[in-house]
Chain A
Amino acid sequence: MAVSDTVLLELYRKMQQTRFFEETAAHLFSLGKVHGTAHFCIGEEASGIGVGHALKNEDYILQTHRGHGQAIGKGMDMKRMMAEFLGKETGCCKGYGGCMHIADFSVGSLGANGIVGGGLSLAVGAALTQQYLGKNNVTVCFFGDGATNQGIFHESLNLASVWKLPVIFVCTNNLYGMSTHVSKAMNITDIAVRAASYNMKGISLDGNDVITIYKETLQARDYVLQHGPMLMVLNTYRWMGHSKSDAQLYRTKEEVDEWKNRDPIKQLRKTLLEERHIPVKKIEEIDQEAEIDVEQALAFAEQSPEPRLDSILADVYAD
């Protein structure tokens, strides 16, 4: 299956937006302008973007704590994401959630989760709704390698398989859960083999190859609608520390540098220039636009009002 230049350029744009978004967010931290914490997906952008861009608006995603790319991939508005990061009233969660809980139901984002593996069971339910209502849509559940060691991983994949629900379980394997290397947390090297115990299809992909991820997700969409859930493991690496505060004593600089050489954005840029013969000017234009988009998102967020305390109790329960 050939992917058009237009789609490739969109993938490139969204990855650049994600990177600039997170670099800006990290900068805000260093200036002390935001409180709390954030988990950055720099180096892993291909997973969120490649998957998200292959989905339809009515498809659902459940994101992780490292979910900026997943949200942008699904088409979320960076203005409302940045405003949420700054805790503003115009944020996608009205400043109640912060960047660990980014959600926008209008684009099918059912929310990022602060509990490792927290989205897994919710995804089963979302896909049950789709199946029950006869929708031609799927649910994507993002989670990390660490989350596959949670009990809820087993319960969720098992039930989704028994009920043949249209879920793509997407595991972004960045080799670490906080400081713990996968080799210390599981006795297998390919996480995709876990699918076998649910009689489920499991595939393992180069998590830095956005084109392959995009293509495989398109196919996975059709597959899960026909056959029920599958597990897709995207093998990648996070460049930054686990969160804001991480001395990274558990890995070497050499290891990080080696992965930096496999930058998913640079790889796609190379493909665009050398295989698709896109003029460098066109690509630089996208770089600039992505940067401007993030700057505008930040300006919007900074100018937005703080949320009000006096209405907060009314938001705990739905009418």
Chain B
Amino acid sequence: MREITYADAIREAMSEEMRRDSRVIFIGEDIGVYGGAFGVSRGMLEEFGETRVRDTPISEAVIVGAAAGAAMTGLRPIAELMFSDFITLAMDQLVNQAAKNRFQFGSQGAIPLVIRTPAGSGTGAAAQHSQSLEAWVCHVPGLKVVIPSTPYDAKGLLKAAVRDNNPVLFFEQKLLYRTKGEVPEPELSEDHIIPLGKADIKRSGHDLTIISYGRMVQESLKAAEKLAGIGIDTEVLDIRTLVPMDRQAVIASAKKTGRVLIVHEAVKTGGFGGEIVSTIADSEAFFYLDAPIKRLCGLDVPIPYNPGLEAGVVPSSAAIYTSALELMEQRQLMQGAT
């Protein structure tokens, strides 16, 4: 299989869906000539023209609201928010309009809308351009939430999101944009659709499960590799879609290994990890646990500017490795106690 970047995979997914379906349009700030703040849509204006690749004023609220209105009336818009931190400016349109306007009108119509937006720290952009706010939108029935960790998943999940008849928040990972991975050739793209709501075992193992999503899956895989070196066989479960969450996959993996470490970049308090913990804790997997479920998350602070601080407040493969070891030791402690 060929290798392409995460950004290329996203551009391919959008372009293929736009070629396939003329109802798919793309709107956002500086997505045309400029190619998007991270260059994801470079070249799309040339192919699709200004009626389908539509630069907007700097107006996040109306970007999301207009995309929702267009979706309610028969188009299938992809809207880009330049940074996911800016969903704050479009919260009414997202939460009260896009998420509700099918249900509250007695399930009339559909709102096939994708909001793509880059998330995460690591670019030196500090507190207002580095957040991971996915937990907020998971709390709103009516929205779906996707965070891909590889170019392969980014492409397949985005194509599924565009074909979905509901508003989908598609959080991209800034630090993954330039990373490469295997993605099927364009000729095989029609089959490359990854259904929303299906987790993926990125590495199979028996001693412990790391459950994660987005960039932290990559960090977890690195940690798992190191853990293998000392004889710890780690499973890495990428949940990929937070809403709907593949509860069965989470429960199955927890039962299989009996030890669970949850890793995400978003701050711990109110983070999505809590949802994963409780999914395990109130299922039959609880009886299979050999150790308490552990969470390794971003510290409860805004992302700071200084590079050392910025890297230090979110999990790294080294921190994941250490947490995994602690989790294994905890088991030994518990066994020692009995």
Residue B338 lies at the interface, judged by CB distance under 8 Å to chain A: no
Residue B237 lies at the interface, judged by CB distance under 8 Å to chain A: no
Known: A115-B92, A118-B97, A124-B62. Contact between A159 and B56, CB under 8 A? yes
* Segment at the B interface, from A11-19, A86-94, A283-291: A86-94
Bitwise, A166-183 to B at CB < 8 A (1) or not (0) is 000000000000000000
- Tell me the minimal C-beta distance from B228 to chain A in angstroms: 40
Contacts of B74 in A (CB 8 A): 129, 133
Residue in B closest to A124 when the chains form the complex, CB atoms = B66
Cβ-defined contact, A97 with B104, below 8 A = yes
- Tell me the minimal C-beta distance from B160 to chain A in angstroms: 14
Contacts of A162 in B (CB 8 A): 57
> Which residue among B96, B106, B109 has the maximum number of chain A CB atoms within 10 Å of its CB?
B106
Residue in B closest to A165 when the chains form the complex, CB atoms = B66
Cβ-defined contact, B59 with A319, below 8 A = no
- Tell me the minimal C-beta distance from B183 to chain A in angstroms: 28
- From B57, B93, B103, B111, A315 is in contact (CB under 8 Å) with B103
Contacts of B104 in A (CB 8 A): 93, 96-97, 101, 111
> Which residue among A104, A122, A132 has the maximum number of chain B CB atoms within 10 Å of its CB?
A122
Residue B335 lies at the interface, judged by CB distance under 8 Å to chain A: no
- From B67, B92, B106, A125 is in contact (CB under 8 Å) with B67
- Tell me the minimal C-beta distance from A59 to chain B in angstroms: 11
Bitwise, B155-176 to A at CB < 8 A (1) or not (0) is 0000000000110000000000
Contacts of B105 in A (CB 8 A): 92-93, 96-97, 101, 103, 105, 111
Residue A130 lies at the interface, judged by CB distance under 8 Å to chain B: yes
Residue B142 lies at the interface, judged by CB distance under 8 Å to chain A: yes
- From B57, B70, B166, A128 is in contact (CB under 8 Å) with B70
Residue B73 lies at the interface, judged by CB distance under 8 Å to chain A: yes
Known: A118-B92, A125-B73. Contact between A318 and B62, CB under 8 A? no
Residue A123 lies at the interface, judged by CB distance under 8 Å to chain B: yes
State how many residues of chain A have any CB contact under 8 Å with chain B: 44
Known: A103-B105, A159-B59, A317-B142. Contact between A121 and B64, CB under 8 A? yes
Cβ-defined contact, A129 with B62, below 8 A = no
Residue A47 lies at the interface, judged by CB distance under 8 Å to chain B: no
Cβ-defined contact, A110 with B57, below 8 A = no
- From A91, A118, A124, A318, B102 is in contact (CB under 8 Å) with A318
Cβ-defined contact, B142 with A120, below 8 A = no
- From B51, B61, B108, A121 is in contact (CB under 8 Å) with B61
Residue A151 lies at the interface, judged by CB distance under 8 Å to chain B: yes
Residue B71 lies at the interface, judged by CB distance under 8 Å to chain A: yes
Cα–Cα, bound, A30→B106 (Å) = 27
Cβ-defined contact, A129 with B75, below 8 A = yes
- Tell me the minimal C-beta distance from A137 to chain B in angstroms: 10
Residues of chain A from 61 to 93 with CB closer than 8 A to chain B in the complex: 91-93
- Tell me the minimal C-beta distance from A265 to chain B in angstroms: 29
- From A60, A152, A159, B57 is in contact (CB under 8 Å) with A159
- From B57, B73, B102, B142, A130 is in contact (CB under 8 Å) with B73
Cβ-defined contact, B106 with A103, below 8 A = yes
Residue B212 lies at the interface, judged by CB distance under 8 Å to chain A: no
B→A interface (CB under 8 Å): 25, 51, 54, 56-57, 59, 61-62, 64-75, 77, 92-93, 96-97, 101-112, 141-142, 144, 165-166
Would you mind naming 12 contact pairs between A and B with Cβ atoms under 8 Å apart? A93-B106, A94-B106, A103-B106, A105-B109, A121-B97, A122-B66, A125-B68, A128-B69, A155-B59, A155-B62, A318-B165, A319-B165
A→B interface (CB under 8 Å): 60, 91-97, 101, 103-105, 110-111, 113-115, 118, 120-130, 132-133, 151-152, 155-156, 158-159, 162-163, 315-319
Sort A-B residue pairs by CB-CB distance and give the 10 closest, nearest first. A121-B65, A125-B69, A122-B69, A93-B106, A94-B106, A125-B70, A125-B66, A103-B105, A155-B62, A318-B165
